[in-house]
Chain A
């Protein structure tokens, strides 16, 4: 038994090649990012060490703070609008018998499609003339509501957020549904006997019982909001006038449009640190409120 489960050679064959690729293409870039963030570098010449200059620059860079606020907007939209909607729809879906599988499969479908296709489809929906949204508004007589959704500073970010929700809401609904169906029947029946039915049952029984999956959903939406890059690049490229820029797309622009790789890497480091910070704050709130309810 021991010779089989402690076979140095076999262990090395199993672990070394895979870890070599992972370390080279995941961990090495991570440390390089830290290193480059302390330099001034145009991507071609040798990087010049400048200490924390790039991080100091962030403090006074208004465009960066617009992108930072958009990330916050993204997080708040996910936490206070998208997640409650997900829970509401999941509870409703869990109460039906007919078409249950149909609902589940349909809402899930957008999450497996490419962001590229979805971005292009929604660009058409938001298009000024032929776009479906404006056509719909004209048909129902709300002509004055029509606008160039993605070309208007006031609506571009919201339009992208709604597209992102369209893509991911169903994924989370399926996640929450799985948790609802995993609640032991006896628990719900006991609750019903005590008079908890309908919305009362949902609020007092179901939601507290699926708390762990709600926590996961919130955490995934928060980190998802911090990660957002492809959908912005595809739909608005951060425009108009930087109004839909997020930190990741601003970083992208600094590197590939402005060739300021040092500054771009500093933003990358800030994204990582800030995501970790958000996750920590979230964890803290989660522990505190759990203690309070127990």
Chain B
């Protein structure tokens, strides 16, 4: 009886482990390969490195400007994300807490339109637009589209939260003599801070990972972001697996770190966002 119960408890785990292994192994492989040299990778792809060799990282950081691309990604990602949040908070506040029902419906409807359009189909006109505005080959060529693509979902998540804040808090603020901006800054933003952190992370991860536009709107190598650099690197040195896996590890570390620190918030945010979207 005891035995049967044990088997019953164990069965789901036995079923899950092969899948877990398939998920984890490629990541584990990248990390171990980044510490091996090429011969070692070819002869013994499965094993751990004989010595923890950091040469590939030194090569990646000194010879291939990975550090520079990292800074580019960080710059574009942070500027676009902060702007998205500022602009989205303003819209979400205006449409949920201010009394302009007709215009607010219109604004919200225009944002909802974005759910129907696959972003890939905007790529070519966007490319033309970026060139016409003289933004091609500047960081702004990515920052503006990232903001525009980030606004709708950010507004939906923030508006859903703002609707739940009771009116009495604002009334108290008014009695204390706050104006519209004061209420937003002193009352609404502090209450919304946890949600803001969540949407910040989601937008940042999206921007950090974006490939197609970053590949198309910038041709200057100096401005490249990490995803583009990694793909270019893989095409150019497709036999130098050590350096390549080191570059990949460098690019996924920030995201894994953010995830390790804020997993719950990320998972909640992502699932809430997609259910509402």
Contact = CB atoms under 8 A, between A and B. Distances in A.
Nearest to A7: B180
**Residue from the set A29, A132, A174, A265 with the largest chain B CB neighbour count within 10 Å:** A29
Interface residues of A, number: 92
A89 interface: yes
A117 B212 contact: no
Interface stretch (B51-59, B109-117, B191-199): B109-117
A213 B275 contact: yes
B261 interface: no
B107 A15 contact: yes
A104 interface: yes
Contact of A4 (B19, B170, B227, B266): B170
**Chain B at the A interface: mostly helix, strand, loop or mixed?**
helix
B37 interface: no
A115 B13 contact: no
Interface string B48-78: 0000000000000000000000000000000
A4 B169 CA distance: 13
Given A109-B23, A116-B211, A29 B270 contact: no
**Residue from the set A22, A28, A124, A229 with the largest chain B CB neighbour count within 10 Å:** A22
Contact of A252 (B123, B181, B238): B123
Contacts of B24: 106
Interface string A102-119: 011111111111111101
A255 interface: yes
A265 B124 contact: yes
A222 B212 CA distance: 20
B87 A18 contact: yes
Nearest to A31: B125
Interface string B174-198: 1000111101000000000000000
A114 B111 contact: no
Interface stretch (A48-56, A141-149, A269-277, A285-293): A269-277
A15 B94 CA distance: 7
A261 B178 CA distance: 53
Interface string A137-163: 000000000000000000000000000
B162 interface: no
Contact of B121 (A33, A96, A112, A113): A33
Nearest to B119: A227
A234 interface: yes
Interface string B21-41: 011101101100000000001
23 contacts: A5-B180, A6-B98, A18-B87, A21-B144, A24-B144, A25-B126, A36-B124, A104-B267, A109-B23, A110-B27, A112-B259, A114-B230, A114-B251, A116-B211, A117-B230, A121-B248, A130-B45, A170-B23, A175-B275, A234-B231, A251-B121, A272-B116, A272-B117
Q: Which 8 A-B pairs have the closest CB atoms?
A: A116-B227, A25-B148, A18-B87, A114-B209, A29-B125, A14-B94, A268-B121, A14-B90
Given A116-B230, A120-B230, A216-B274, 19 more contacts: A4-B180, A14-B90, A22-B148, A25-B126, A32-B125, A32-B129, A106-B20, A112-B209, A113-B255, A114-B208, A117-B251, A125-B26, A130-B241, A132-B29, A135-B46, A178-B271, A268-B120, A268-B121, A275-B118
